[in-house]
Amino acid sequence: MTKATKLLTALPPPQRGRLMALGREVSFPEDTRIFEAGGTADRFWVIRSGAVSLDQQVTSLQRVTVATLGSGDLLGWSWLFPPHQWDFGAEAFSPVRAYEFEAQPVLELCEEDPQLGMTLVRIVAEILAYRLEMTRGQLMEQYSLHRRSGL
13: cis peptide before it, omega within 30°? no
92-108 average pLDDT score: 97
Output the pLDDT for position 82: 92
pTM: 0.87
* 150 band by pLDDT with thresholds 50, 70 and 90: low
Note the pLDDT tens digit of each residue in 23-64: 999 999 999 999 999 999 999 999 999 999 999 888 888 888
Q: Region 54-83: what's the mean pLDDT?
A: 90
pLDDT of the residue at 135: 76
pLDDT of residue 1: 42
How many angstroms from the chain centroid is the CA of residue 18?
Answer: 20
Percent of the chain at pLDDT > 90 equals 71
Per-residue pLDDT band for 5 (boundaries 50, 70, 90) equals: confident
Burial class from Cβ neighbours inside 10 Å (0-12, 13-18, 19+) for residue 114 reads exposed
Q: What is the pLDDT of residues 116-135, one digit of tens each?
A: 999 999 999 999 998 888 77
Query: Measuring CA to CA, which residue among 76, 97, 75, 78 is closest to residue 28?
Result: 97
- Is residue 66 pLDDT above 60, yes or no? yes
What domains are defined for the chain? 7-148 (2.60.120.10)
Between 64 and 136, the more confident residue is 64
